[in-house]
Amino acid sequence: MKANHMSRDVANKIKSVASNIRRVREGKGYTQEYLAMKLGISQNAYSKIELGYTKITLERLFQVAQLLETNVLTLMDEPVLDGHNENNRYHRPAAL
């Protein structure tokens, strides 16, 4: 049971990273096509990164962070609902 819980936890963290990549990209006004071109991959392959269908390597994560002009840790942050207001705030990810 523990292994199953851990794999669900990891899957959720991967989805969180994928979501953060999309959020930052959209905030910068970049298209998926632009990031895909800069990474040397198809738009379809890039889309799968943002959807969490593709497990990206650390190397690719660093490349994406550099293109988005952000820190890798920003992409790894997990959103937490702040009980005092409706805005999301972010914190450092828990260790795997």
Give the pLDDT mean for 8-17.
89
Residue 44 lies in a domain: yes
In a domain, 96, yes or no: no
pLDDT per residue over 36-92, tens digit each? 999 999 999 999 999 999 889 999 999 999 999 999 999 998 764 443 333 344 444
**Rounded Cα distance, 83 and 57, in Å:** 34
Helix (H) or strand (E) holding 61: helix 58-67
DSSP 8-class letter at 86: S
Query: pLDDT value at position 6?
Result: 80
**Does residue 78 form part of some domain?**
yes
Q: Is residue 6 part of a domain?
A: yes
Q: Is residue 30 situated within a structural domain? A: yes
pTM: 0.76
Output the pLDDT for position 69: 97
Q: Domain containing 49 — which CATH number?
A: 1.10.260.40
Give the per-residue pLDDT at 1. 53
- The CB density around residue 14, as the number of other CB atoms within 10 Å, is 15
In a domain, 35, yes or no: yes
Return the structure tokens found at 58: 């650390």
Domain that holds residue 30: 2-91
Q: CA neighbours within 13 Å on the CB side: how many for 80?
A: 12
| Count of structural domains within the chain | 1
